Chains A and B, each alone.
Chain A
């Protein structure tokens, strides 16, 4: 219809550019810090540093763990084995979520107040279905 043809193309192009710019300006922390957080969590687990590991968990993950184990986080994580912090891969960051492979397992992270925190860890990735995780993920 003729009304559409009257829309000013320059305004639309500018709006497209602004939208693309905004979409590229994610406020999430960096992929490097995601990798370091994932490594630190696995390191804390391997070193039996319960307080250190609990400090790196996303609130929802810690809460879920405490409910499952009927124990405080620092006690509940003691039985976890999240593998060894060897050879982490580069983080894949998508918006407020990130995925890092540490050793043979995967760690899922989420942005909590500008810092990466562990959503799930000790995960085995699977095709077309959620990962099987030792920590987090219901």
Chain B
């Protein structure tokens, strides 16, 4: 058990932080929802009921989609773009999809390589893109959930204010949808840009997200 906890500590810690954050979001979300309900002269709801509302769903989904978009872009852009001095970047001369030998696929696969990495057909093609495809799927799924749940939450608010509900297409063109979307996108892009640039000059001893403390600022693609 202790070995399992040690071997999976990073995933387990983030999973626990995720659950704790989601609980915090639910508690503060229902308080805000009920505060607005009082102002609108309608019923307040319980925490359990709030978890089933489109308000909660859209607030969750809008953050998820931006996180997955961030990682999707990071996965793809770091194939072709580099940053001198950043441990988040590949070496400057490794731009592109790299050779089969460098990627250890096909005849260059090693005994412990994943089975599909030894293939040369569609399995290798699919496995070579699997991380991007899954992240892209999660992004699109979360964004679609934001669209659908956001329209529902928006329409509930519209009716409370005695205004007409909008169609899915109408919501896609609404300021509410794009404000929710872009306010999350901008923060993700800023965080990535900051990490790429700051990690050139700053260090965190022992972290694989940082270069070794003594590494030169010009060293690229070196993780501590």
| Chain A residues proximal to chain B, CB less than 8 Å | 1-9, 11-13, 16, 19-20, 22-23, 25-27, 58-61, 64, 92, 94-99, 108, 110-113, 119-120, 123, 125, 127-131, 133, 136-137
Question: Can you name the residue of chain A whose Cβ is closest to the Cβ of B51?
Answer: A22
Q: Are B10 and A4 in contact (CB under 8 A)?
A: no
Interface stretch (choices B91-99, B137-145, B179-187, B212-220):
B137-145
Cross-chain contact A5 with B152 (CB below 8 angstroms): no
Q: B52 touching A120 by the CB < 8 A rule?
A: no
Cα-based distance from A23 to B149 in the complex (angstroms): 7
Partner of A131, one of B43, B57, B163, B209: B163
Pairwise interchain contact B162-A130, C-beta atoms closer than 8 A: yes
Dominant SS among interface residues on chain A: mixed
User: Helix, strand, loop or mixed for chain B's interface?
Assistant: helix
**Chain B: minimal CB distance from A95 (Å):** 4
Shortest B9–chain A CB gap in Å is: 11
Residues of B within 8 A of A113 (CB): 43
B134 within 8 A of A: yes
Taking a contact as CB atoms closer than 8 A, the residue among A12, A61, A95 that contacts B53 in the complex is: A95
Does B57 contact A19, Cβ atoms closer than 8 Å? yes
Interface flag for B169 (CB, 8 Å): no
Chain A CB within 8 A of B204 CB: no
- Inter-chain contact A1/B43, CB cutoff 8 Å: no
